[in-house]
Each structure stands twice: as structure tokens, then as C-alpha cells.
Amino acid sequence: MKTFNIPTYYRSPIISRVKAIRSKFDKRKKDFTPTHLDFGNVEFILGRHFGFCFGVENAIEISYKAIAENPDKRIFLLSQMIHNPGVNGDLENHGIQFLQDTKGNQLIPWSEIKSDDIVIIPAFGTTIEIENKLKEIGVDTPRYNTTCPFVERVWKKSEKLGTDDYTVIIHGKDKHEETRATFSHSKAYAKSIVIRDIAEAQLLGKMILGDLAESDFLQTFAGRYSADFNFKTDLTKIGVVNQTTMLASETQEISDYLADIMLQKFGQENSKKHFANTRDTLCYATNDNQSATLALLDQKADLAIVVGGYNSSNTSHLVELCEQKFNTFYIKDEDEIKTHNVVHHFDMHKSELLESKTFIPENRPLKIILTSGASCPDATVDRVIQRILELTNTSADIELALANIKNTFNEEV
């Protein structure tokens, strides 16, 4: 895979070397077993895959290139580059300004943007309406467009479904930048509707079977369906796509459920004509990170730490998986670890920051599951490791810990 030129402070002395060792022994990325980074007193059990993905590195490379190439110009980002506070903060420190917040609220009026300003499109992509607005102003948007190709792939799939006369069911978070962009691109070609979860798929199922009234549809999905959507005629041929960072198992559940609804409505013979058999549109990074996290669930550990921005969709799903087995702490960086006992962490179910006063248990050796989202720099994970080693008075013989990883995989190959 292509390597990107990103600031060295996002790389890390520990995690980068761990990943290099794993890649050396698993070039085809088939082995999802965790990595044991053992410091004796404390052992970190790392997911096989985590951290910066292709789309994020691409976006970061282009953003810093825009800064370097345009020292005399104003540079704007449509919204957060990725969902990581450290990366966005660093871009702001380099003079980049955000035009909108993550929910699409305007922070700087369009009227202030001039044709010679630089506007960077983030990895999530943007809506056709915003693309057109920037074109009207005369901004050269293709120059610094960091839209991830895996997001564009979803748009293409939606277009294809629309061309074949299917309505597109988008499994995603309707306020998320990527889903707003996908909805916009999808509705240009197809009747489209955004659903959040399996509960909403079930409501849709009832509507398809005629068990719910139009008023329920209009109320439940207000603002999340395309213009002139007719819930009687536009739900007879459907296909599912998703936000690239959703939980794979939930998208599968939704697809299976809706396929079964079409079978009930149209019968075995005809159901295939009414349900497009699309595979999910998750990106490779979401699939790899979720599979690697599922492999962590086979391990025994005292706690789990997931590092990432609190508005990061892909990170939240890793937390959801870890919570199935471990006492899990979702932290944005090492600064959230206050003392041996006290940690500030995010409760994504209630959307609130919590303070826990029981963090690191006393038993030794301590085993900690550790992973991070696709927008989290490895350097941040390194600093979390260093902070825990410091709080547990563990001497960090990194060379020995890395040599042990090499020995493990040497023995296996």
C-alpha cells in the first residue's frame, strides 16, 4: 500500500516498530491474532490492526501539502479533517480555519470565502450542494480534495443502484459528515433514505409489509429521505449501502432482515428482483480493525483501553466490541489518565465524559487490551503506553519487548 508523507510527530517509536514486525511476518494481512507487548509487570495486548488508515494518511498528507504550498493564502477546511482532536488542533495551529462544525453548522459565512482561498475537502467528502457553492465562488476544490476513495466507492454503488431503479437504504449516522455526503450523492441518482440501526430497519420492514402508516414514516424519518419519496411505491426495490465505519455485524443484520422482508412480501421467486444483493460498503480499515478487535475478545485481560476522538464513528464501534467482554475505557489521549486510579473517559452511550476512580487494578502482571481508531496517530498510543508504564513503576525495556514479539512470530513461521 502507498506510503504517505505525514509529519513525523504522528509516527511513533514503539507502535510503528510493532506494526513493521507484524507486517514482515504477515505480508498478506491474514493473521488477526493480537500482539503481546510484554514489559513483565505490565503486558499490552494490541490489536493486529489499528490506527491511521489509507484515507486518513492521504488527507493528512494533502492538508500539510496545502499549508506548505500556500504560505500567503487563507486556508480553510470544510469541517474537521478527521475525527481526532490532536490532528485538527495541529492543523489549526498551522493557520487552517474550519468553515463548518461536524454537524454542518456554519462557523464562517460563505460570503467571506473568496475565489483565491484554499478550501480543503475532508476525508469524509462533502455534499453536492456544498461542492456547487464552492464552484460558484470559484474555489479550485479538486486541488485539495481529500475525499477517501472508499467513500467515493459507496457513492458509485448508490449511483449504480439508482440506475437500476433501486431505492438506496443508507445505514449510517445521519448527522455524520460522511453520511450527509453519501445521502447527497445518492439522492442525485436514486430515491434514498438514511436509517440508523436495526430498530429503524424493523420500522421500515413494517412499512414495507403495510403494517405502519405513512404518517409514522414521515415522522420517524423526517429529514432523512429524498424529495418526493413515496413510501408505498419507493420501497418495492431496495438495496443497502452503509457509512464506511459502521459496525459490520449490524449492517449484515439489517441486510439479512430487509432481504427477508422482501421475501415475505414478494415470495421466493421474485424476492431477488426486489432486493439488490450488495455486499456491505465498509472500508478495508473498518473491516480489519473490527476483525482484529474481535480477535482481542479471545484474550484474558484486566481492562481494555480504546484511544480515539470522542466523535469518531469507527472508534466507537471498537469500544462497543471491547465492552462485550472487558471493563473498557474510551480515552482521547494520555492526558485523560490522571493518576493510577483516576481516568477521564467517554461514555458513548450517554455521550458524556466520566471520571472513574478505579482504573489500574493492583494485580500483576497486569494485562491491558489496547487499540485505537483509524484517525488516531500511533504516537498517541505510544504515549498512553508510556503513561501506564510510568504509573505502574514498570521499567520500559522496549528493545526486549520488541525482540519477544519477533521471537514469537519467528517460531511460528
In angstroms, give the least distance from the CB of 286 to ligand SF4: 6
Return the number of the residue (59 or 360) whose C-beta is nearest ligand SF4: 59
In angstroms, give the least distance from the CB of 179 to ligand SF4: 12
Return the number of the residue (288 or 336) whose C-beta is nearest ligand SF4: 288
Question: Is 411 one of the annotated active-site residues of the chain?
Answer: no
Return the number of the residue (55 or 205) whose C-beta is nearest ligand SF4: 55
Q: Which residues pair with 100 in a beta bridge?
A: 106
In angstroms, give the least distance from the CB of 217 to ligand SF4: 30
Q: H or E segment at 77? A: strand 75-77
Give me the residue label for grid cell 478550501.
119
**HEC sequence for 155-201:** HHHHHHHHHCCCEEEEECCCCCHHHHHHHHHHHCCCCEEEECCHHHH
Residues 6+ apart with CB under 8 A from 347: 330, 353, 354
In angstroms, give the least distance from the CB of 231 to ligand SF4: 30
Interacting residue ranges for ligand SF4, rule: CB under 6 A: 53-56, 123, 148, 150-151, 244-245, 283, 285-286, 314, 374
Return the number of the residue (154 or 401) whose C-beta is nearest ligand SF4: 154
Distances (CA, A) of 197 to 246, 279, 301, 370: 10, 17, 30, 27
Q: In this structure, which amino acid lies at residue 118?
A: I
Please provide residue 96's backbone torsions phi and psi, each rounded to the nearest 5 degrees: -75, 140
Which entry of 43, 57, 131, 178 is annotated as an active-site residue? 178
In angstroms, give the least distance from the CB of 405 to ligand SF4: 26
Q: Are 196 and 223 contacting, i.e. CB atoms less than 8 angstroms apart? A: no
Listed residue (243, 68, 241, 80) closest to 146, CA to CA: 80
Return the number of the residue (55 or 308) whose C-beta is nearest ligand SF4: 55
Q: Catalytic positions, please?
A: 178
